[in-house]
Structure 1
């Protein structure tokens, strides 16, 4: 079984790809080059990703440089523009390949999938309701009455007595006359029952029944400890992210799941506390609200590169 890369690994791959795209655009400034050097030297994983993407760039560079320059020097503007676009795309091929290694193709081949920040809801033929959260994927086989969670997070509400089976990497969940949420992580699958009761069969260990308001983590070694949870907290089903006296670092890590690009913050902000309900359809607005209610400043380099830092006292 393939182990899904961590969120941090995917972020490093995305960052390396974005740095490459910036350099190849021809618009990188001296400050950009300085920032890149700092990024590479700040963590050995950054440098490893950068070296990998440079190696891939050389491998994918199939157009001889002499031919490229000769063609670019021709007087035909349309030909030159077309070649420049082709060269630009060729430069981004290793970036796309590197990201695809961190974002498995299984998710894109699934029957239903969502991109970052997207939310999908589907009414199944039997009357069941299926919802997918951001960056998620599921396969559907109603003939066999089973769904397979490939990636991310889903909610399933089955109103009738005929059970639907959910296959997950660490077990199977039988759902009838109940609503359940599943969130697949790097090494576990968290199962939370919103209403009714479901039966779980872990890959290892005995089956167990999970009732409304309970949750458990399924792992390769079996089921963890059954615990209580707040049924209102999976607010993504209504398009909101809720926090109740939550550390800001945890909140931002969750918010980052709904944003494309890089969201970073100063470690000094980790312990600040946040309470509220925030719409997920505009994460830029969420960051603005945080800046209005907490002593932080939001620095936006691009739409896809945002940093949060402590606000400096003026006076």
Structure 2
């Protein structure tokens, strides 16, 4: 899949701004007419508008503080109206979509998960698909193909079936195997839990990845294979596990599952973390870190959190 174009991002931004204006309660009749004209001017505008509203409904329970914590001081005029409007449900298309850079294609994927959500789907012929946080997959059962649009999946395929996982960096052919596929900005990580899979890179070169191995598909081809870290399986059971892991690496993984903004002082990066943490309550995870490490949690809101060194570390 290709990255969303600049034009697609601008259309998404415009849809978010129109929705924010309407939700603010300050839209005039002229504004409503302008929105209708914009929607009618191109099919992509109408599609973006419909998807923006679906996202708004999906995240309607998010509190106003999620948006307000990230806003500047109020400014006069139309710009201030749009900023204040982001404090309501329209925060999702604007702040979430634009700041998290979620591809437009993820909006219309057959299966998708929000930040912090995980999903298990039973496919035909006994195949089991699991989606991790902020992930999206298109399903073409006629071609026995899953397209990983964004994020991470785990796939268990029985002996009588074969499925193809298409990524931006190549293909993974799965038959009688358990495999995890995580798509990153720099490549795609293929981890084999059981059995063996065939991977094909963008140059058309095939390689076999055995159980216990992990391969990296890159734009330049297949990277070096390494041993598979079984701790990566924890997300399927809602657990994030660390074994003497640098805190910076742990937090970068944790923020995938936490809506809003999580920041930390660079001085905390080298601290070490060991333990298993339930992903269903990321606030509790932060509290546990603060109780065992020399750091403190500063919360502007539940959705805007900064970790700072405690006096002992400072």
Q: TM-score, normalised by structure 1?
A: 0.72
> Residue in 2 aligned with 1:76?
none
Kept in 2: contact 1:4–1:186 (CA 8 A): no
Cα drift, residue 234 of structure 1 = 2.3
Q: State how far apart, in whole Å, the 1-side matches of 2:92 and 2:125 are.
A: 42
Kept in 2: contact 1:119–1:132 (CA 8 A): yes
Q: State how far apart, in whole Å, the 2-side matches of 1:288 and 1:4 are.
A: 37
| Structure 1 residues 244 and 4: alpha-carbon distance in aligned structure 2, compared to 1, 3 A threshold | farther
Q: State how far apart, in whole Å, the 2-side matches of 1:89 and 1:295 are.
A: 35
> Residue in 2 aligned with 1:239?
238
Cα drift, residue 96 of structure 1 = 3.3
Cα drift, residue 58 of structure 1 = 4.4
Whose Rg is larger?
1
Cα drift, residue 2 of structure 1 = 3.4
Q: CA RMSD in A?
A: 3.4
| Structure 1 residues 190 and 313: alpha-carbon distance in aligned structure 2, compared to 1, 3 A threshold | closer
Q: Give deviations 1:129-160, integer Å, cap 9, x for gaps.
A: 10000000001122211111000000000012
- Tell whether 2:284 aligns with 1:271: no
Q: State how far apart, in whole Å, the 2-side matches of 1:278 and 1:297 are.
A: 18
> Residue in 2 aligned with 1:67?
none
Paired residues, number:
253
| Structure 1 residues 94 and 117: alpha-carbon distance in aligned structure 2, compared to 1, 3 A threshold | closer
> Residue in 1 aligned with 2:183?
184
Cα drift, residue 229 of structure 1 = 1.5
> Residue in 2 aligned with 1:214?
213
Unaligned runs of 5+ in 2: 6-12, 25-63
Kept in 1: contact 2:165–2:171 (CA 8 A): yes
Unaligned runs of 5+ in 1: 6-12, 38-53, 62-86
Q: Give deviations 1:275-312, integer Å, cap 9, x for gaps.
A: 11100000000001111111111111101001111111
> Residue in 1 aligned with 2:166?
167
> Residue in 2 aligned with 1:157?
156
- Tell whether 2:115 aligns with 1:100: no
Kept in 2: contact 1:191–1:216 (CA 8 A): yes
**Aligned pairs (5 A) from 1:62-73:** none
